[in-house]
Structure 1
């Protein structure tokens, strides 16, 4: 089996690129690391630049540069493709359709439809039972979100964009907070100020989510990695003392934790629903019994769980995925 991992750059591997490319090679697979933002077509046959990794036992680590000759690799010559990031903003209107077209002939670990439509936070209401998600309001109109906040200003809220990652622009709104109004204006595009001054430039509104704050977060948040519907790795996330966010890139720390049966059952039930839409690898942010977010494109957690626990689960992930697709093709 030849696996093509499409990533942002082969000069600095990510936290999934490195351990998973090692694991698939240990299984005897050929692994090509290709550039996601260099997808092109020759008479509508799609290819990219990439490097075929040598089967020489060399292990890569996050931050490593791939050693080898860069060549051209056609997507239809691979037996499995893994999109390990989002295309750059300037390119996604072209890259996503080309990848979808390629997926009509070659299996993808995570389906293009799932990555495009289920990765944003809008999808939580579809994927999660009501008992396992926070009540949320989604709009690109400041007055609507502001009115919802004012009606329940005695409680804490979280405000954030629906498509952000790594804790970007995630705000904690305090009860009757003096900054709540300006934060919601900012997240929805500051349309009030622009209209007041008659600025030109077209449509300015942006979507934002106003979400009830989950008190269970204070007791500890967990990142769970689910592969082919199985919870395979997890770690706790200890937030920075000066920040309400626990994201690792925002100063949070991965810590070893146990998972009780209810948490595993909930993670795997969500994993099974994701599989029905072609998503076979995902990261779940949980403060039981609530799921806070689902991360489908390059979810961190597998490598962080290894650092926290000392156990590398990448071989188990590779085995589950290879077995799933071999079964599907038989």
Structure 2
């Protein structure tokens, strides 16, 4: 099997690129690292700049540069493609379109349809059972979100964009908070300030925001669960930074070792199997049981972090599950 892993940079492999690339090579596969933002077409055959890694070459750590034969590699000469990064905004529409077309001939670990439509906070209502998700309200109309906030004067909320990541622009809104109105205006594009121009030369500026019920269980920390082909394979805990309400490692959260009890495993695998029906075979789930807070499909961290805290590398197990799945269900 020849696997093409699409990533940002060939000179700085990510936390999934490196260990999973190593694991697939140990399983006897050829591995190519390719640049997701450099996809091109030769008479509608799609290819990208990449590196074919020697099968018995050096093993990589995150941050390493890919070493091997650099050149142009065609998608239809691979048996499996794994999109590990999202394309840059300025080329995203073209990249997703070309990837979808390529996926009509070559299997993808995570389907382009799934990455496009389910890699968002909007999807929690579809993927997660109602009893396992916080109540949320989504709009690009500031006044609707403001009314919802004021309707529950004793409730704390979390406000955030539906398609951001790594804790970006995630705000904790306490009851009667002095800046809540300004925060909700900001998250929805400050349309009240722009309304006087009736869209004018600046155009339509409204942006969507999610107002989500704050879950007290988060104060005890979250768990990131990595699920491959519907099976929970690795997990770790994240403690809140003492000066922040977010547990994201990028925002100062602390990585800790945790156990996962049977109910948590059952819930994670239920979600994993539901996503498999949409061609999604590798995800990271953020959980404060019994609640699911977020599902990560595009390059979900957790596998490398679980190794850091437990000393156990589960990347070989992931590779075995992925290879077995695509042998059992070839395109």
User: Common fold, TM-score beyond 0.5?
Assistant: yes
Q: Which residue of 1 aligns with 2:19?
A: 19
Deviation at 1:220, TM superposition (A): 2.1
Q: Which residue of 2 aligns with 1:139?
A: 139
Counterpart-to-counterpart distance in 2, 1:286 and 1:24: 28
Q: Which consecutive unaligned segments of at least 5 residues does structure 1 have?
A: none
Deviation at 1:85, TM superposition (A): 1.0
Deviation at 1:55, TM superposition (A): 1.6
Counterpart-to-counterpart distance in 2, 1:246 and 1:265: 23
Deviations 1:143-163 (A, max 9, x none): 000000010132110000000
Q: Which stretch shows the higher mean deviation, 60-69 or 120-129?
A: 60-69
| Counterpart secondary structure, 1:143 | helix
Aligned: 1:124 with 2:124: yes
Counterpart-to-counterpart distance in 1, 2:113 and 2:255: 31
Deviation at 1:196, TM superposition (A): 3.6
Deviations 1:10-59 (A, max 9, x none): 11110000000000000000000000011110111100000000122411
Once the two structures are superposed, the pairs formed by residues 87-236 of structure 1 within 5 Å of their partners are 87-196=87-196, 200-236=201-237
Deviation at 1:140, TM superposition (A): 0.4
TM-score computed with the length of structure 2 as normaliser: 0.98
Query: How many positions carry a matched residue from both structures?
Result: 330
Counterpart-to-counterpart distance in 1, 2:108 and 2:23: 18
Q: Which consecutive unaligned segments of at least 5 residues does structure 2 have?
A: none
Q: Which stretch shows the higher mean deviation, 318-327 or 61-70?
A: 61-70
Contact 2:190 2:206 in 1 (8 A): yes
| Counterpart secondary structure, 1:200 | helix
TM-score computed with the length of structure 1 as normaliser: 0.98
Q: Which residue of 2 aligns with 1:267?
A: 268
Deviation at 1:68, TM superposition (A): 2.2
Q: Which stretch shows the higher mean deviation, 53-62 or 257-266?
A: 53-62
Deviations 1:48-98 (A, max 9, x none): 000000122411011111112310000000000000011110011100010
Q: Which residue of 2 aligns with 1:2?
A: 2
Contact 2:46 2:98 in 1 (8 A): yes
Runs of 4+ in 1 over 4 A off after TM superposition: none
Q: Which residue of 2 aligns with 1:42?
A: 42
